[in-house]
Structure 1
Amino acid sequence: VVEWMRNGRWTTERDYGEGSADKPGFPAQPAWFKDSSDFPNIAVGLAKVGFDDESVAAVMGNNWLRFFEESFVGV
């Protein structure tokens, strides 16, 4: 999906994304991420490939929290 999003083009024709007219839709989810209950597996994977604890925490939500706190002051 990400590869298509990076290389996709605007069109007036029907676009099936990663699918086709015969098989529209998205590819199957990977075995390690079937649904939102598998979200913690992302942190495990990041740590396995060498991300330190602070970087894992940033990717898993701290970046968003920092952005929110710095951008929406007094809202």
Structure 2
Amino acid sequence: MRVASVVVLTVVGIALPSAATAAPRISGSAVGAAVAAPTAVYGPYASYEVCWVAGNQGQQAGQWQSFFCAQNGTTSWWLFTTP
């Protein structure tokens, strides 16, 4: 019994570190590079829906690649665009 317990614990101890090192890791710089800084801010808009429609229309017209709407610490909504 005692030998079997030691063997099982040894095998588990070897298997766990190798599984942990197999997981991919993302560095802080890789995460930061994926997020583009906003280039322009438009607003204020009365609601999220109005802000989103304005952003979507600008994106469809080719004025910017992506956008997001946020309250930015206020009660109004603001449109942030990226090139």
- TM (norm. structure 1) is 0.24
- TM (norm. structure 2) is 0.23
Higher strand share: 2
Higher relative contact order, structure no. (Cα contacts within 8 Å, ≥ 6 residues apart): 2
